[in-house]
Amino acid sequence: MITSLTPAESRVVLHNISWETFETLLKETGENRGSRFAYDCGTMEIMIPLFEHESYKSNLCNFIIALAEELNIEARSAGSTTLKHQVANCGIEPDNCYYIQNESAIRGKLKLNLETDPPPDLAIEIDITSSSVNKLGIYSALGVPELWKYDGKELKFYQLEVEEYRERDVSLAFPLISVEDMSNFMQQIPMQGEVALLKSFRAWVRDKVVYLTNE
C-alpha cells in the first residue's frame, strides 16, 4: 500500500485486487462516500479529493452546463457514476461525465450498465497529482469518446480514435470550443469568484456564437 498526501488529493493504491473484491468494495462503501475508485487489471486506486481539486472540478462542470445551455445542446450529467466493465477488467469514477450525443439513448434511465448502454460522451478528470493507474487506458477500454484532463496548470482534450486517445485542439462534444479557450478560463479560477467567472464565461460564449453566426 502506498499513500500520498497533497493539498489537492489524497491517494491510496492497492495491488493484486480481484474483480470480485473491487465489486465488494464498491457495494460496501456505497455511492455517498467522498472517495473515488479507479481499477485497472488488479490495481486499485482510491482518491480522496481535497479543496483545490474540487474547486477546479466545480468550475469546469459549471462551464460545461453553461456551454450546453448557451448552445442549446441537451446534456445529462452522470456525475461520478462508477463506469465499469468486467470483460475489460477495469472501472473508474470520473470527476464528472456527460451524455451529450447519446443523451436521448439514456433518457429516463435511473441505472447505467455499460454492457448494454453506451458510455458517456464526455468525461472530466482533475488530476493535480499523478495517478498510479492508466486512466486514459481505462477510459479507452470503456469506449468513452472524449476526455478533458486538467492538472492544475494545463488542460488537454483527448478524443478516442481506433481504441487510442489522441490530443485534439477542439472539443468533439462542443466543436465551437478550443482547448485554448477553456484553458484561459481555467487559469482564472483561483483569482475570481465562481459566480462572477461563470457570468464572464457565459458572456464570452454568447459573443462567440454571434461572431460565428455573422461571419
What's 170's DSSP letter?
Answer: B
HSE, side-chain direction, 13 A CA sphere, residue 47:
28
Q: Does residue 5 lie within any of the structural domains?
A: no
Which pLDDT score, from 0 to 100, does residue 2 have? Answer: 43
Closest CA to 121 of 175, 47, 197, 183: 175
What's 110's DSSP letter?
Answer: S
For residue 145 the three cell numbers come to 469518446
Q: Does residue 16 lie within any of the structural domains?
A: no
Which pLDDT score, from 0 to 100, does residue 27 have? Answer: 92
* Location of C-alpha cell 465499469: 84
Which pLDDT score, from 0 to 100, does residue 131 have? Answer: 85
C-alpha–C-alpha distance, residues 122 and 85, integer Å: 17
Q: Does residue 175 lie within any of the structural domains?
A: yes
pLDDT tens digit sequence for 159-207: 999 889 999 999 999 999 999 999 999 999 999 999 999 999 999 999 9
Q: Does residue 44 lie within any of the structural domains?
A: no
Q: Which parts of the chain register pLDDT below 70?
A: 1-8
Q: Does residue 147 lie within any of the structural domains?
A: yes
- The answer to whether the beta carbons of residues 122 and 148 sit under 8 Å apart is yes
Which pLDDT score, from 0 to 100, does residue 182 have? Answer: 96
**148: left (phi > 0), else alpha (psi -120 to 50), else beta?**
beta
**109: left (phi > 0), else alpha (psi -120 to 50), else beta?**
beta
Residue 160: domain span: 51-213
Q: Does residue 205 lie within any of the structural domains?
A: yes
- Tell me the one-letter amino acid at 100: I
Q: Does residue 127 lie within any of the structural domains?
A: yes
Q: How many domains does the chain have?
A: 1
Which pLDDT score, from 0 to 100, does residue 5 have? Answer: 44
Closest CA to 64 of 87, 96, 86: 96
Which pLDDT score, from 0 to 100, does residue 214 have? Answer: 75
Neighbours of 3 (CB within 10 A): 9
Which pLDDT score, from 0 to 100, does residue 8 have? Answer: 61
CATH number at residue 65: 3.90.1570
User: Which regions of the chain does DSSP assign to beta strands (E)?
Assistant: 2-5, 9-14, 36-40, 43-49, 76-77, 83-85, 90-92, 96-99, 122-126, 146-150, 155-161, 164-168
Q: Does residue 142 lie within any of the structural domains?
A: yes
Helix (H) or strand (E) holding 135: helix 135-142
